[in-house]
Structure 1
Amino acid sequence: MSADRPTLGTLLKGLRAREGWTLKQMSAKSGIPVSTLSKIEHDRLTLSYDKLQSLAQRLGMRMSDLFAETEAEAGPAVTARRSLGDVERAVRVETPNYDYYYLCTELRRKRMIPVVTKIRARSAEQFGDLVRHSGEEFIYVLSGSVVVQTEFYDPVTLSAGQSLYIDSSMGHAYLAAEGCDEAEVLGVMSSPEENLMDAMLTLHDRHRAEAKDAA
């Protein structure tokens, strides 16, 4: 059953099997050492956002394709899909402001993106420009306190157990409240568009580039 869990290791192993590559061949194509690939496939190691992006580029894939099953595996649309996931086996993406843990990543064409987020940014200056993307989103604070800044409303502070639902096309930012080193929230983003995951990864990439320019 563990091979069916939504981990980066499982997905890379499946990709390698589909292409008929040995670990050595995939190492040559990706530029990642064989020993590192082996650890990833056995879920003993993950990759940073930069390395995930580099891996996708070297393999001629989009980032989101690394987080999804193949078309053949997905099969026709049905109403009985399900996916079990936990933070330990989530696909992690690090950015200057947040650590994202994407859940249930093996399901393709999801209309909802569930993600656990650890928030470190504490000020609007540190965060940068407000984020905007298609759809709507819901967040539930798991621990710590979060200041939610939005384009058309005054900032609101949420504590553990509180939640918020917003229009994602409205500029927004989530910040760790004063006195809180790190806050953790469960978020669910939805959109009628099927490329929401691609849009989120593009935002992560932009934030990383902005942080490097600021440094």
Structure 2
Amino acid sequence: MEISTDRPTLASVMRGIRARKGWTLKQMSERSGIPVSTLSKVEHDRLTLSYDKLQQVSERLKIPMSDLFAETQSRDEQKVTGRRSIGRIEDAVQVTTDNYDYHYLCTDLRQKRMIPIVTRIRARSAAEFGDLVKHHGEEFIYVIEGSIEVHTEFYDPVILSEGQSIYLDSSMGHAYVAAEGCDEAVVLGVCSSSDAGLLDSLLNISKRGG
């Protein structure tokens, strides 16, 4: 028996949104601000959209950014408890900010309580990073390459090297920067929360450059 491994793509998501709204490509273009030719290529999986364009679609169509990463599960669909997703870096949703390059993994699963992210850290000091960030839940950070300096609201900064990790309360202000002598570092982070809107919260932080 062959098991389907199809995963939602931006093409199927955009087609689904347009179908639910009953819009033509021209109407979708007028509402989203994306040219008809571009939308056509996206819907036929011949082109993707940059993070800025996804943000534009989200704001103009008034839909959560995370809804553009995977199809929204039908309300009438029975919840499945045996979910799984294979995370490949080439399938990740990439978001680049002044401080980080984020790679969001397993975005085909909706309403996750854990958000896995591979992050390349480029900020080299707390001053360069800016204000500490906060969000709901807890997070775990494991250093894959290089070394990082962890700044938190209530503790002195701590240095973590390859193979070391930290678990912290995400509602406490925090920031990760490359440690002295390290140009860049790569970490695996897992953010967890009972809040179903965790992904949107993290993406909003990304839009602010955190």
What range describes the TM-score normalised by the shorter chain of this pair? 0.7 to 0.9
Using the TM superposition, name which of 186-195 and 39-48 deviates more.
Answer: 39-48
Are 1:97 and 1:119, in contact at CA under 8 Å, matched by a contact in 2?
yes
**Percent identical:** 62
Q: CA deviation at 1:103?
A: 1.1
Larger radius of gyration: 2
Structure 1 residues 1-215: aligned runs within 5 Å: 3-4=6-7, 7-19=9-21, 23-38=25-40, 40-41=42-43, 42=45, 44-48=47-51, 50-72=52-74, 75-207=77-209
Q: CA deviation at 1:58?
A: 2.0
> Would the alpha carbon gap of residues 145 and 22 (structure 1) be closer, same or farther in structure 2, given more than 3 Å must change?
farther
Q: Deviations over 1:172-201 (max 9, x none)?
A: 100011222221111100011111112112
> Would the alpha carbon gap of residues 21 and 192 (structure 1) be closer, same or farther in structure 2, given more than 3 Å must change?
same
Q: Deviations over 1:115-150 (max 9, x none)?
A: 111111111111111111111100111212111111
Are 1:74 and 1:108, in contact at CA under 8 Å, matched by a contact in 2?
no
How many matched pairs?
206
Amino acid at match of 1:29: R
Are 2:38 and 2:47, in contact at CA under 8 Å, matched by a contact in 1?
no
> Would the alpha carbon gap of residues 204 and 24 (structure 1) be closer, same or farther in structure 2, given more than 3 Å must change?
same
| Length-normalised TM-score, structure 1 | 0.83
> Would the alpha carbon gap of residues 148 and 202 (structure 1) be closer, same or farther in structure 2, given more than 3 Å must change?
same
**SS of corresponding position for 2:74:** helix
Structure 2: give runs of 5+ residues left out of the alignment: none
Are 1:135 and 1:189, in contact at CA under 8 Å, matched by a contact in 2?
yes
> Would the alpha carbon gap of residues 68 and 145 (structure 1) be closer, same or farther in structure 2, given more than 3 Å must change?
same
Using the TM superposition, name which of 177-186 and 23-32 deviates more.
Answer: 23-32
> Would the alpha carbon gap of residues 11 and 160 (structure 1) be closer, same or farther in structure 2, given more than 3 Å must change?
farther
Match of 1:211 in 2: none
Amino acid at match of 1:155: P
Are 1:3 and 1:10, in contact at CA under 8 Å, matched by a contact in 2?
no
Amino acid at match of 1:159: S
Q: CA deviation at 1:165?
A: 0.9
Q: CA deviation at 1:9?
A: 4.3
In structure 1, C-alpha distance between the alignment counterparts of 2:91 and 2:41, rounded to whole Å: 14
In structure 2, C-alpha distance between the alignment counterparts of 1:132 and 1:186, rounded to whole Å: 18
Using the TM superposition, name which of 53-62 and 20-29 deviates more.
Answer: 20-29
RMSD of aligned residue pairs (Cα, Å): 2.5
Q: CA deviation at 1:14?
A: 4.1
Amino acid at match of 1:158: L
> Would the alpha carbon gap of residues 145 and 88 (structure 1) be closer, same or farther in structure 2, given more than 3 Å must change?
same
